[in-house]
Structure 1
Amino acid sequence: MNLIYNIIITIYQFLIVLNAMFNSKSKEWLRGRKNLWTDLELKTKNKKNIVWFHCASYGEYEQVKELMKAYKLKYKSHKILLTFFSPSGYLNFKDLNIVDFVFYIPLDTKHNAHKFIEIIKPIKVIFVKYEFWFNFISKILKYNIPLYFVSVVFRYDMFLLKLSWFRNNLKKITHIFLQDENSADIISKHEFNNFSICGDTRFDTVFNNAKKIKENNLIKKFCENSFVIIGGSTWRKDEEILLKYIKKFPEKKYIIAPHELNSLNKLQKDTHGIMFSKATLENIHKSNVLIIDSIGLLPTLYKYANIAFIGGGFTKGIHNVLEAIVFKVPVIIGPNHHKSNEANELIELEYIEVVNNYYEFVTAVKKLNFTKISEDYIKKNRGAVKKIINAI
């Protein structure tokens, strides 16, 4: 099975190189790693007590940010090295006060895993969610370095869990911090004993972020005295529903923050919206649509919304609904939400409405306009960071 895994990694590398000829994200994936080894050796030379945190992308970083802050407070002499797999994480990372080093993770080949570990010599490694890179895992454990996975969720239909090779590798991990009891039940049946239930660190992150958000006078002026719908992390299928609604209800205000920024001009043409980067206090009311053309601003905007339409429910899966819920903003999502524990819970509480088309969206807006959200949901689910930090 190791051979098959390494063949898959080689094929993946070939496909990235091929795709880079047509795709800017793949091109950046390669470009960002061009001088990785030189930079890594130069910046970490003679540095001791390095603790390596790894995230796939920016969303996973937001999930683990409060844990990194807590770790920094507990272990002041340790150096935090953060890696990303995706350019969307690396390029939009700005919290340099939290970490000491930030890099791309190299592709998970045996050679790269060995070289990376030899250079940084970490004393601990923390991977977030599903970053199961098995050459790295093997090399980390070979050197007897504690390896932790945080905020992990397992499901009964997870194909990899059916493979004994996958399960055996995971059983070697020092500890797996799970989000929920369902995940614990699943891996207990496979005779795992290296896990505990700690909850989702995102609850700590969104709660603490919400307390620190400052007033944005430009957004406040745009939204004043209006019913505001925010489209958060939207994809094209989400935006098609929003476009119909905007034309039908022009009296409302709309803020759209696309998940990808490569089709902003088309979105602006379709909505006649104004780009946030071009907005001023003088021109902010020239359109009823404001397009957020940067990454990282979205979590600070939900406080101004009456309703949030969270994207991804018509593609691979919904994005973070907690960022809106923490501000007591009811949420609309598409049908692909089943992998989100918190979304499923919030649907039962009737804080979230699921829609399959434009007509259901119209009905959902009318219904949620009268929804009042309690603070209790976020408060009772906080505390994962404290549980993890006490264990590592």
Structure 2
Amino acid sequence: MTISVSSPGGGETSLAEAVKNFGISIEDYMLPVHGQIQILSEDGTMLPEDRRGSSPGHQYPVPPDEELLAAYRRLVIGRRVNDQNSALVRQGRLAVYPSSHGQEACQVASALCLRDGDWMFPTYRDAVAVMTRGVDPVDVMTIFRGDWHGGYDPHAHQVGIQSTPLTTQLLHGVGVAHAAKLRGEDTVVLAMCGDGATSEGDFHEALNFAAVFQLPVVFFVQNNQYAISVPLAHQTAAPSLAHKAVGYGMAGERVDGNDIVALLAVLDRAVTLARAGSGPLLVEANTYRMQAHTNADDATRYRNQAEVEAWAAKDPLNRMRHYLRAAGQLTDDVEASFARDAEEVAQHLREGLSGEPEIDPQDLFRYVFTEPTPQLREQAAFLADEIARSADTAPADLAKEH
């Protein structure tokens, strides 16, 4: 399903040159297609080409079945991870968890479209994407325990640390892409955000900078219809979030976010174009957050059950299961093996998050400055003395190193 994009002499190509082979003008290509790109219907049958939402220049090849079967396995694991983490919150093992239940297709496709050397910059809701990228699930969930660190080395996996502040990760992703371009690397950055993030100033700054400097960034917007309790209609008057791309001078595309076949096809081409030097692109995936914003949210206050049930019928796992069953790819034995794989990950999470983390209170002061200030040394000594007094033991000279 790889799209071949080349430029004369093998150098950097403009977006206009990159889309020339698609038989469409740059002006038309930059605007998203009418409707959205969809390849699988909600009942799991393959749509005929004239009903996929694509148009001349926006045709997407269907990934091979073996690739789709591997993606489905990741969907099954992702759904089990979401359910397990929600249970760990109720058990008090996690402080909070922003579930991506219902958005697993976006999560899996975003990770599978990247090469090993590419970078992903996720949001707080993208734990399944980070795990699919290869980060240990327990390390991914460390931040949701309330521990002081992110849990994994971003450089070891080319995955930015998940962050709660909206949209800050887009600026970090653009910075990495800028550095990669200056070094002559073929790195592509996938910068992820939600619909609420498009209302932030950092969104504008990230897209504008990336477009002006023609950086290899794919901005992936998971439009799950709500920024906590604020529906999309109260955030923008644009026809779609993908339409915002043209204002920055980049192409935008809309895709069914519960159709992993379409997601893999669209994201693969976006990454391929960005790697060829055509500049940034924006992909909007229409999906739905089936559960509450986090365990601290009451979603019934701002949306009704009929809306939730309508989206439940579009479930990405059911859609792929029906397609793969009909294609003869998903047998009972294969599905059982996927379920076992998912349960192994869930067990790993339970075991890894069951113990209490070892906490050193002096870490409050140890990593603030390279050379601690006199005030920090004084505070560290005071805390060490308080801990020693409360334990009624001889003082451990924890502050000496400062």
Question: Which band: TM-score by shorter chain?
Answer: under 0.3
Task: Please identify the structure whose Cα radius of gyration is greater.
Answer: 2
Give the TM-score normalised by the residue count of structure 2: 0.25
- TM-score using structure 1 length: 0.25
Identify, as 1 or 2, the structure richer in strand: 1
Which has the higher relative contact order, 1 or 2, with Cα contacts under 8 A spaced 6 or more apart?
2
